[in-house]
Amino acid sequence: MSLRPIFKLVAVAACVASAAAIGIAVGADDGPPPAAAPAVVSLWPGSVMYRVAGDFTSAGKPVGAPLTMVRIDRPLAIMTHQVTAADYHRCVQDDACPPLAPEVVPVADRPAVKVSWRDANAYAVWLSSRTGVRYRLPTDEEWAYAAGSRFKDDAMPNFDADDPAKRWLARYDREAGEQQPSDREPRPVGSFGANENGLLDLAGNVWEWTSTCFVRRVLDAAGTTIGEPTVNCGVRVAEGRHRAYVVDFIRDARGGGCGVGVPPSNLGFRLVRDEDSMLRLRALVGRLRDAVGLRGAG
């Protein structure tokens, strides 16, 4: 297997990048070229107030989703920017990802758009095998944690349960009122700015896939789930200016017809890098050595 030495080299490079990322609480690491180890922001564990995704009913009527405190109990390494069209195209060239839509130009400074949840996963599998580090889509909770102030609580006031139109109209107005860029044309990376964690382009005109499935729960009067929820993993949560539930093989969520609402302008993604526990231990040891001045003794 002539590929093996190269693979190892890449893996080592990724380890170094991870260690560097772990060494700082919050911040971007530029890292080696994207195919090897994409730039990530590493976040310390913490908590986020999180409006649970999915639909909820109580006594046969729709009710608002509960708000919970979610604990992210491990460091979270998440891509600084969305996977670019050029990044994705490398996976296509390796025959590991379906081709981009013809109108999406594989350039380095624009996000990959018109990609389905399945495409995003194919990319994650490919990138993991290329780098030797596991990459995956974030859960919706992780996305919310990393997005910070750019995560929108999509709670609706509790409308008269007997008038289904009120909730519907309110949601339509809210989504229509979001500051929509006048076009859906993907913008250069960084055009929508950074959030307080240094992540670029969150809630711009590209929505991001998460691994969270659509779930419907029945609540009792106290808000406790009754019975088994309906879990539909053919529909995943996409995050952006508003939370959207999109069928996993859809590449373009534009609405019309029965789906009256404001659809995501574009579907793209960024990945989370899973930190191997040994890797994290080594990184910690490295930092401790640095701290006590044992440089180069490793």
Partner 1 sequence: MTMRTTGTVCAAMAALVFSLPAPSRNLDLPREKVDLVAPPFVHDHEQATTRTPRIVEFKLVSEEKQVVIDGEGTKIHAMTFNGSIPGPLMVVHEGDYVEVTLVNPATNTMPHNVDFHAATGALGGGTLTLVNPGEQAVLRWKATRPGVFIYHCAPGGEMIPLHVVSGMSGAVMVLPRDGLKDGSGRQLFYDRIYYVGENDFYVPRDDQGRFKSYASATDAYADTLVAMRSLTPTHVVFNGRAGALTGNNALTAKVGETVLIVHSQANRDTRPHLIGGHGDVVWETGKFSNRPETDLETWLIRGGSAGAALYTFRQPGIYAYLTHNLIEAVQLGATAHFKVEGAWDDDLMMQVQAPEPILPAVRGALEQPAHSAYHR
116 makes contact with partner 1 (CB under 8 A)? no
225 makes contact with partner 1 (CB under 8 A)? no
In which residue are the tokens 């959207």 written? Answer: 244
Which of 24, 67, 108, 169 binds partner 1 (CB under 8 A)? It is 169
Q: Which stretch binds partner 1 (CB under 8 A): 32-40, 80-88, 238-246, 256-264?
A: 256-264
Which tokens is 267 given?
Answer: 């579907």
Q: How far is the CB of 124 from partner 1 (least distance, A)?
A: 26
Which tokens is 224 given?
Answer: 């406790």
Using the minimum distance from each CB to partner 1, give the nearer residue, 182 or 277: 182
Which tokens is 165 given?
Answer: 């139109």
- Estimate the crossing angle of helix 3-22 against helix 117-131, to 10 degrees: 100
Amino acid of residue 12: V
- Measured in degrees and rounded to the nearest 5, phi and psi for residue 16 equal -60, -45
49 makes contact with partner 1 (CB under 8 A)? no
Which of 28, 250, 262, 271 binds partner 1 (CB under 8 A)? It is 262
154 makes contact with partner 1 (CB under 8 A)? no
185 makes contact with partner 1 (CB under 8 A)? yes
Q: How many helices (H) and strands (E) does the chain have?
A: 6, 13
Quick one: CA dihedral 24, 212, 37, 184, positive or negative?
A: negative
- Contact residues toward partner 1 (CB under 8 A) are 55, 57, 60-62, 102-103, 105, 162-166, 168-169, 172-173, 175-177, 180, 183-185, 216, 218, 227-230, 254-258, 260-262, 265
